[in-house]
Amino acid sequence: MDTLTHIVTGGVIARAIDDEKLGKWGTVAGLAMGAFPDVDFVLGLFNHQFYLQYHRDFTHSVLLIPFYGLLFSWLFIKLSKRPHFWSFYKICLSVLLSHVLLDLLTSYGTMIFSPFFDDRFAWDLVFIIDLIFSGIVMLPFLASFFLKKRAKWVCRGSLIGLAAYILFCWFQHGQALEEVKDFSKGLKGKIIQTAALPQPVSPFRWAVYVETEDKVFQGFVDLLKKELPRAGGPENSFFAKLNSLYDPPGRISFQPLQKLPDSPWVKKALTTEGITFYYWFARFPVVKSIHSKDGRHRVEFMDVRFLLPGIRLPFVYFVEFDDSGQIHSEGFVEDRRRR
């Protein structure tokens, strides 16, 4: 979930608790705790690999959050001069836990059992930037400053609205998975995993995936759409391109992507530390391309989870060898473009 939504949600939780002992400091604590776990964004200033390895790691651990709550409660006592440790703690703990919960709703992956386990958990219910979700917390939060006598109940209503919206997305997610199951029935061979991942703009839009032993099939569905998107068209805007991706239920065009083409350079790349790390991070890793030119052999990998055909493809990792098989260069394509 985006950091601004986390911050406002923290303020909503604090105002819903409405501990009179803390006054405005309760809201300050809620806002600050909503932001705290995302301080790991600074890791992105170094490089993509460092960021992907540690983002949503120790600052998002449910095992460490109780201790973060203790530390910040003590700090707020010192700053506010209000000796109400447990009043601060119930806000800090609630907001920190809500931050992890909201991140689990997305499909990015959160290491909630860090530092003991590096497994990434994702519930695939809400896109990382969801304007409906954000509106459910932001509008009541602003309204609570004008409706001061009813602020507590306005914010509690906001939280109830969030819960209802999450249930709605859970239902839509189930509908999208049914489309995946229908497609999977026609495939031969072993199904390794399936998924339906939330998409931008609308809770009715989903990217759907089926992984077999040699391919990843990707499709896009809009559960409200009745007709197939028109081919061609003069519009080149982002929203026009995005809308053209999505098919109606029962008529999804699944595109197959070969996971590992038969190439000695692909096999060699798979033995490198960089690609071992990439396969830990990626959910649907495939080889994007293989190029050999002037004694250089470059293999690029992508995570189909992030692919919006014709629109975006972040987190592409490459390994380039010389003729002797030694690594000439490697890294994320985005990092190389910045130089």
Q: How do residues 77-119 score in pLDDT, each as one tens digit?
A: 999 999 999 999 999 999 999 999 999 999 999 999 999 998 9
Confidence of residue 232 (pLDDT cuts 50, 70, 90): low
Task: Return the H-helix or E-strand segment holding 7.
Answer: helix 3-17
- How confident is the model over 27-54, as a mean pLDDT? 82
- How confident is the model over 246-261, as a mean pLDDT? 94
166 close to 198: Cβ distance less than 8 angstroms: no
- How confident is the model over 137-160, as a mean pLDDT? 94
Neighbours of 219 (CB within 10 A): 22
Q: How do residues 280-299 score in pLDDT, each as one tens digit?
A: 999 999 999 999 998 999 99
The helix/strand/coil state of 313 is coil
- How confident is the model over 16-41, as a mean pLDDT? 92
pLDDT at 36: 95
pLDDT reading at 51 higher than 90: no
- How confident is the model over 63-77, as a mean pLDDT? 96
- How confident is the model over 230-256, as a mean pLDDT? 80
pLDDT reading at 336 higher than 90: no
Instruction: Look at 128-137, 259-268, 307-316 and tell me which has the smallest mean pLDDT.
Output: 307-316
pLDDT at 242: 85
| Helices of type H across 47-196 | 48-54, 65-80, 85-104, 131-146, 151-184
pLDDT reading at 243 higher than 60: yes
Give the separation between CA 19 and CA 90, rounded to whole angstroms. Answer: 10
Q: How do residues 156-210 score in pLDDT, each as one tens digit?
A: 999 999 999 999 999 999 999 999 999 999 898 899 999 999 998 899 999 999 9
Give the separation between CA 141 and CA 156, rounded to whole angstroms. Answer: 10
Give the separation between CA 302 and CA 66, rounded to whole angstroms. Answer: 37
pLDDT reading at 42 higher than 90: no
pLDDT reading at 29 higher than 70: yes
Tokens (6 digits) for 244: 């053209």
- How confident is the model over 314-324, as a mean pLDDT? 93
Closest CA to 253 of 226, 282, 221, 284: 221
Q: Which residues pair with 258 in a beta bridge?
A: 215
pLDDT at 282: 94
pLDDT at 334: 72
Tokens (6 digits) for 237: 């805007």
Q: Whole-prediction pTM value?
A: 0.89
Residue 292 or residue 237, greater confidence: 292
- How confident is the model over 293-306, as a mean pLDDT? 94
Average pLDDT of the chain is: 91
pLDDT at 339: 42
Closest CA to 112 of 163, 61, 77: 61
pLDDT at 30: 96
pLDDT at 233: 52
Backbone angles phi, psi at 117, to 5 degrees: -135, 140
Tokens (6 digits) for 91: 């806000």
